[in-house]
Amino acid sequence: MPEPEKGPWLDDDAGRLVRPYTVSGGRTRPSGRFDLLTMVMATGSRPHSQLGPDHAQVLGLCGGPTSVAEIAAHIRQPAVVTKVLLSDLLECGAVTTREPALLGPDPTDRDLLEAVLHGLRKRL
């Protein structure tokens, strides 16, 4: 996995030299639909258009299923900037996405939520 802390766009004293607005090309909304738990994975397909170093860094992090939140943390960018970069990669076919699988009961199940609330009240 590439080290996000290294590169010509970082300065040890000043931090990141390229501002988020520049990284996203001034865009503030991704063209694709992502949330922080969306899983992203590289397809192995190379982008046809020339993308920037931030796109390459993001693509390098997507060797296996990786969440949007994890990618944002690695590249040290706000989630919305990360989503814009991922949208670009999704549009050119370099990544694919899927919603995370639920590993248990539905977290919005009313009976489950009431049972948790009852248990918390019982402990107090």
- 14 occurs within a structural domain: yes
Task: Check residues 42 and 108 and name the one with the higher pLDDT.
Answer: 42
Residue 2 lies inside a defined structural domain of this protein: no
Say which amino acid occupies 122.
K
- Contact between 51 and 25 under an 8 Å Cβ cutoff? The reply is no
Percentage of the chain beyond pLDDT 90 is 29
Instruction: State the pLDDT at residue 4.
Output: 46
Cα gap 120→61, rounded to integer Å: 39
pTM of structure = 0.64
Does residue 17 have a pLDDT over 60?
A: no
> How far apart, in whole angstroms, are the C-alpha atoms of residue 63 and residue 111?
39
C-alpha distances out from residue 24 to 11, 30, 55, 81, 98, Å: 20, 9, 10, 6, 22
Q: How many domains does the chain have?
A: 1
- Write out the residue range of the structural domain in which residue 39 sits: 10-123
Instruction: Answer whether residue 99 is part of any domain.
Output: yes
Task: Give the pLDDT score at 116.
Answer: 86
What pLDDT, on the 0 to 100 scale, is given for residue 89?
A: 92
What is the predicted pLDDT for the residue at 10?
52
Environment class of residue 47 by beta-carbon count within 10 Å: exposed (0-12), middle (13-18) or buried (19+)?
middle
